[in-house]
Amino acid sequence: MTKRGVIASLAGAIFFSLVFPAVITIADSLEKVKAYQFVVDGEKWFTVAEAEKESVEEVLREYQEQYIKNVAENARIKKTGFAQRAFLAEVEVKPEEINPFAVVEEMIYAVEEEALEIEIKKGDNFWNLAKKYKLTVNDLIILNPDINPEKIFPGDKLLVRPMNPVLDVVIELENTVVEPIPFKVKYRRDNRLYTHQQKILQAGVEGEKEVLYHITLLNGYQDSLTVLEEKVLKEPSNALVQIGTRKTVARGGRINFGVVRGTRISSYFGYRIHPITGKRRFHDGIDIAAPHGNAVYAYTDGKVVEAGWNGGYGYCILIDHGDGLRTRYAHLSRIYVRVGQRVRVEEKIGAIGSTGNSTGPHLHFEVIKNGRTTNPLNYL
Ligand SMILES: [Zn+2]
């Protein structure tokens, strides 16, 4: 049903149940009174007595404010309004044309389509679910700002269709968030070391920038997001790593990340602040974009402690290297190792894929030092 259709039928029901009896019981009054009519896109929704104008305005304000409740506290609301042209017009009507106040909330809060929430099942990921519900992966991310796509598990709830009200609320806001600037890794070649050997001469430190976003929300969800301004607060400090050039196994490739031949880092390690909710989310590893099927190699000697399906990580391997060091390889298409198996540095352990929550083929690579994830860039 169209939005107009919903309101027409609502208005019809209200006319029948409320106005019609009034017409019979009250004889046609000649005296007209001052009243207010709520008009949406040229259509009359209801008429209230003059004394109730402020109460209607309060209902409208509360109706709009329900869509601000998830917005970050320090965000600045610039504009609140309706997508439709909606206003209260002063009119002169016969007293029997005035609707009872109960109609006001009923019409303002009218819903065209209820929200649809689904439960995650084994094997589900944002990619397949987006396809199933005719959305983009980005739509799903926008609808579920509190959910980390890489960490969904069976039983988790996911919103796939927001509630669609008849009266659409548009909110414009600005928010300033501090975001990290990734550091680069500079290599110093050393022909006395083998290609898999390396030494961190200087650890990298992320920089910081302040980003000013302009965001438009439609019924509480991001409709547009633009960067208005960026200010560098702290430049990143690059890492310096000594790497060997003596070859054992030839791997080559456009960019050799040691554990995989990839094309670029598509997502870095660390905190990101959600520009709308202001909530912090942590990315435990780095995502290296790489062609599907490319071999994934063990970071260094170790023992496989996990090999199999792991929620949003899809097919995933965890290797214990001793000395409190573990590495994780996620979103694989194939796994060539078993739990308990010993692996050697540069041994082929799996193949690049897009399983679990992944929008395209890539390796999510994690380095865990003494139980805590740490920036893998300092280890590659
Ligand atoms: Zn990742």
Q: State the average pLDDT over residues 49-69.
A: 94
275 CA to middle of ligand 1, Å? 19
CATH architecture for the domain at 116-165: Roll (3.10)
Cα(110)–Cα(40) distance, integer angstroms: 13
328 CA to middle of ligand 1, Å? 10
Query: pLDDT digits over 288-337, tens only?
Result: 999 999 999 998 889 999 999 988 899 999 999 998 999 999 999 999 99
339 CA to middle of ligand 1, Å? 22
17 CA to middle of ligand 1, Å? 57
363 CA to middle of ligand 1, Å? 7
Residue 354 C-alpha from the chain's centroid: 19
What lies within 8 Å, CB to CB, of 165 at 6+ separation is 109, 110, 111, 112, 219
Domain 172-248 has CATH 3.40.30.10: no
Cα(60)–Cα(38) distance, integer angstroms: 11
Q: Is the pLDDT of residue 194 over 80?
A: no
277 CA to middle of ligand 1, Å? 21
pLDDT for residue 160 = 94
Q: Is the pLDDT of residue 112 over 70?
A: yes
Q: State the average pLDDT over residues 249-268.
A: 66
Q: State the average pLDDT over residues 108-129.
A: 90
166 CA to middle of ligand 1, Å? 38
Q: Name the residue ranges covered by the structural domains of the chain.
A: 3-67+82-109, 116-165, 172-248, 257-380
Q: Is the pLDDT of residue 188 over 60?
A: yes
**Phi/psi-derived region of residue 16, left when phi > 0, alpha when psi is between -120 and 50, beta in every other case:** alpha
Burial class (CB in 10 A: 0-12, 13-18, 19+), 35: buried
Q: Is the pLDDT of residue 353 over 60?
A: yes
pLDDT for residue 20 = 45
Query: pLDDT digits over 34-49, tens only?
Result: 999 999 999 999 999 9
Q: Is the pLDDT of residue 262 over 50?
A: yes
CA of 15: how far to CAs of 11, 47, 77, 88, 221, in Å? 6, 12, 37, 19, 34
Q: Is the pLDDT of residue 368 over 90?
A: yes
257-380 topology per CATH: Glucose Permease (Domain IIA) (2.70.70)
pLDDT band for position 346 (cuts 50, 70, 90): confident
Q: State the average pLDDT over residues 94-121.
A: 93
Q: Which amino acid is at 234?
A: K
Q: Is the pLDDT of residue 61 over 50?
A: yes
pLDDT band for position 348 (cuts 50, 70, 90): very high
Q: State the average pLDDT over residues 28-33.
A: 74
Cα(39)–Cα(378) distance, integer angstroms: 61
80 CA to middle of ligand 1, Å? 36
Q: State the average pLDDT over residues 191-196.
A: 70
Percent of the chain with pLDDT over 70: 88
pLDDT for residue 191 = 76
Q: Which helix (DSSP H) or strand (DSSP E) does residue 132 occupy?
A: helix 126-132
310 CA to middle of ligand 1, Å? 13
pLDDT for residue 65 = 94
Q: State the average pLDDT over residues 247-256.
A: 43
pLDDT mean across residues, the chain: 86
268 CA to middle of ligand 1, Å? 8
Structure token digits, residue 356: 């679990």
What is the separation, in whole angstroms, between the first and last Cα of the chain? 56
* Residue of 82 and 267 predicted with greater confidence: 82
130 CA to middle of ligand 1, Å? 19
pTM strictly above 0.85: no
* Residue of 178 and 253 predicted with greater confidence: 178
CA dihedral 74, 80, 83, 84 (to 10 degrees): 170
Q: Is the pLDDT of residue 13 over 80?
A: no
Rg (CA), the chain: 29
